[in-house]
Amino acid sequence: MSKLSGVYRRQRRSGGTPAGDEEGRRCGRGSLPGDGLPQEGEGAGPSAAATTCRISSSSSSSDAAAPRLVEFSASLHGGSLHDFRATDVDGGRREHRDCRAGIAGLATALGLHRQGIRSVVLESSPTLRAAGFAFTTWTNAWRALDALGVGDTIRAHHLRGQRLVVKSASSGETTTKLSLMAQGRSGMHEIYCVKRNFLLETLEKELPRGTIRYSSKIVSIEEDGNIKLLHLADGSIIRTKVLIGCDGVNSIVAKWLGLKKPSFSGRSATRGLAEFPNGHGFQPEFLQFSGEGFRAGLLTCSEQSLYWFFTWTPSLTEVEENTSKMREYILKKLKLAKVPDEVIQVIEVSEMSDVVSSPLRYRSPVSLLCGKITKENVCVAGDAFHPMTPDLGQGGCSALEDSIVLARCLGEAIRGEDKGGKKGEYERIKDGLKKYAENRRWRGIQLIVTAYIIGFIQQSDNAFIGFLRGKILSGIMAKTLMKMADYDCGKL
């Protein structure tokens, strides 16, 4: 079984001497792998200018490839995946990766780990964050999760959806019923509603201990030759050879690449989760209500958990001030529409998001078409790359797709699998990220455009669009959901 040795360096802008030899120190979850660097409230003074720690850890037998002996200098920012630098002690190879502890960041870090490449995740918050409670996990996401080796673990704790049922919020009539277990191009469809915290915790457990560094927020990026300098909010500076931004819709990495800020769709969303210890009694199906100026849905996570969402076009800001007003507003809208009482009762007893409402944003397809997804050894993934409205349920799913393609392209580059075999590591990394961008650009554009159009049609209260939605478009849109999910990002 291979052994992995890591060296992590963290420097402060101020002067000072090393805080002592930390050789052999075992670091906790809140630190870098093998990081002997000061944590929150731990030796954060000027004397802790540079600290080094070495550790050795065995690779898991379940990994696709055993890690090689490497020396790392890495950092990942919460919500963003930045590349870290690693030096292959045997062959002089250097690698850097940084990731955020969101879906894209953790999944990419795990994808790299499965190939024997260790990374560090910089998470800006003090703990894992699971905003949104749950998300629809479509067939394409399961292919990515299976490639990471965690699919069956997650399936075992959730109910597989059997049907999609779409109802008119105006008439209460069912406009579409669609099996969620239909045959696709490369196998049976499978759709679940997965709790975000369970997914993130599952990904975290598969990573080497200490991979995620919490309370590490990147505030600026500088260049030093081929190296990127990441300035953290606490004054630390981290050197990285590859930087991957998975830092959400307000990505600092996307801004550095020159991508335009995401646009506001004119719609907002809120969501909640209801727990029923003795069982909720709902069938394993996804209910959706469209019309009357809103779109709402109820999905089964498990026999005890129900997830719901509500999107609308905001007009009065006061309803967004607190949870009670937001709940009151939603219930009023649903009661005026033709929504069953049992669905309304779920919302009445549910826990709502701390973020009372979220503006729905998307990146302009023109920005993705003409803008830079990668530049040299920097790229973006997940919402930092292709933020979209939630109407396809593909935000988290496409982030998982990104992670597999990105980890595969970087793995090939780091292992030196270029055709001629003569390029240096920096050039190989640049080529690997270009290959990733070529693979993902059009997929991102397709998802953004389709989600926007479907959301507009579903939520519209225009009488003519409502008529078309009920008679013709509802079935077409339901089939489009399945079509967009029938996608295979490949293996690692």
Residue 136 near residue 297 (C-beta atoms within 8 A): no
The pLDDT assigned to 100 comes to: 58
Residue 377 near residue 410 (C-beta atoms within 8 A): no
Question: What are the beta bridge partners of residue 120?
Answer: 98
Strands 94-99 and 120-122: parallel
Higher pLDDT among residues 235 and 142, named by residue? 142
Percent of the chain with pLDDT over 70: 76
The pLDDT assigned to 20 comes to: 34
The pLDDT assigned to 420 comes to: 60
| DSSP one-letter code for 118 | -
The pLDDT assigned to 317 comes to: 57
Nearest to 75 by CA among 98, 108, 50, 104: 98
Residue 280 near residue 296 (C-beta atoms within 8 A): no
| Intra-chain end-to-end CA distance of the chain, in Å | 21
Please determine, for residue 376, whether its predicted confidence score (pLDDT) is greater than 60.
Answer: yes
Q: What is the pLDDT of residues 458-477, one digit of tens each?
A: 888 888 888 888 888 888 99
The pLDDT assigned to 460 comes to: 82
User: Three-state SS for 330?
Assistant: helix
User: What pLDDT band is residue 201 in, cutting at 50, 70 and 90?
Assistant: very high
Crossing angle for the helix pair 103-114 and 395-414, to the nearest 10 degrees: 30
Mean pLDDT along residues 439-455: 96
Q: What is the pLDDT of residues 324-343, one digit of tens each?
A: 888 888 999 999 999 999 99
Helical ranges in 171-292 per DSSP H: 196-206, 252-257
Number of C-beta neighbours around residue 318 at 10 A: 9
When mean pLDDT is compared across 34-43, 321-330, 450-459, the lowest value belongs to 34-43
Please determine, for residue 57, whether its predicted confidence score (pLDDT) is greater than 50.
Answer: no
When mean pLDDT is compared across 117-121, 141-145, 361-365, 432-436, the lowest value belongs to 117-121
Which residues, 6 or more positions from 17, have their beta carbon under 8 angstroms from its beta carbon? 47, 49, 50
**Dihedral through CA 269, CA 215, CA 222, CA 259, nearest 10?**
-10
CATH topology (fold) of 72-77+98-486: FAD/NAD(P)-binding domain (3.50.50)
The pLDDT assigned to 410 comes to: 92
The pLDDT assigned to 7 comes to: 26
The pLDDT assigned to 357 comes to: 79
Nearest to 395 by CA among 438, 455, 313: 455
Q: What is the pLDDT of residues 162-196, one digit of tens each?
A: 999 999 999 999 999 999 999 988 789 999 999 99
| Residue keyed to tokens 């996307």 | 254
Nearest to 26 by CA among 200, 154, 165, 210: 210
- Compute the distance between CA of residue 224 and CA of residue 239 in angstroms, rounded to an integer: 9
- Compute the distance between CA of residue 289 and CA of residue 32 in angstroms, rounded to an integer: 45
Please determine, for residue 408, whether its predicted confidence score (pLDDT) is greater than 80.
Answer: yes
Nearest to 10 by CA among 175, 248, 183, 229: 229
| The two structure tokens encoding residue 270 | 């809120």
